[in-house]
């Protein structure tokens, strides 16, 4: 997977965060109709929003540093970082829609979220290692 995927998925994370910010504005403005029923847990929507913003920032910084140094992480590491960065905050969004998933998550949801956490860890650590090695070799 090319390094540009980091910037593309970073842009996607930023786009989702912006949509979530408008949803939060609508919820805070007192729109209690269907939107309140769709997103009963506002706190987890805020968590998802912040997490998507952070993931966008990480991916943009990784992309910039990889281009600047230059560092070339393996494609599998880039893919893991991109998948993890997008799906990690998604758990908060699901919790915002289905608060019961916090207490008793379905096995498939729990498994997917664990895989997302592993992908984020492997991807971010791998890119961090690659950037560090490139910086030290200059």
Distance (Å, rounded) from C-alpha 118 to C-alpha 96? Answer: 22
Per residue in 92-134, pLDDT (tens digit) is 999 999 999 888 899 999 999 999 999 999 999 999 999 999 9
User: What is the reported pLDDT for 92?
Assistant: 95
pLDDT (average), residues 4-18: 98
pTM here is: 0.93
Per residue in 46-62, pLDDT (tens digit) is 999 999 999 999 999 99
Tally the domains of the chain: 1
User: What is the reported pLDDT for 32?
Assistant: 67
User: What is the reported pLDDT for 80?
Assistant: 98
**One-character DSSP codes across 105-126:** --HHHHHHHHHHHHHHHHHHHH
* CA proximity to 89, closest of 38, 55, 128: 55
User: Burial, 18: exposed, middle or buried (Cβ in 10 Å; 0-12, 13-18, 19+)?
Assistant: middle
Range of the domain at 104: 4-136
User: What is the reported pLDDT for 76?
Assistant: 98
């Amino acid at each position: 997977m090319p390094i540009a995927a980091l910037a593309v998925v970073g842009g996607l994370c930023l786009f989702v965060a912006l949509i979530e910010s408008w949803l939060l504005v609508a919820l805070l403005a007192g729109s209690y109709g269907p939107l309140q029923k769709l997103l009963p847990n506002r706190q987890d929507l805020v968590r998802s929003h912040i997490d998507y913003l952070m993931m966008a920032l990480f991916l943009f910084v990784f992309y910039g540093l990889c281009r600047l140094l230059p560092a070339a992480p393996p494609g599998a590491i880039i893919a893991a970082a991109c998948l993890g960065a997008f799906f990690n905050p998604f758990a908060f969004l699901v919790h915002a829609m289905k608060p019961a998933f916090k207490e008793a998550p379905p096995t498939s949801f729990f498994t997917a979220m664990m895989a997302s956490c592993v992908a984020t860890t492997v991807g971010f650590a791998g890119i961090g290692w690659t950037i560090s090695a490139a910086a030290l070799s200059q």
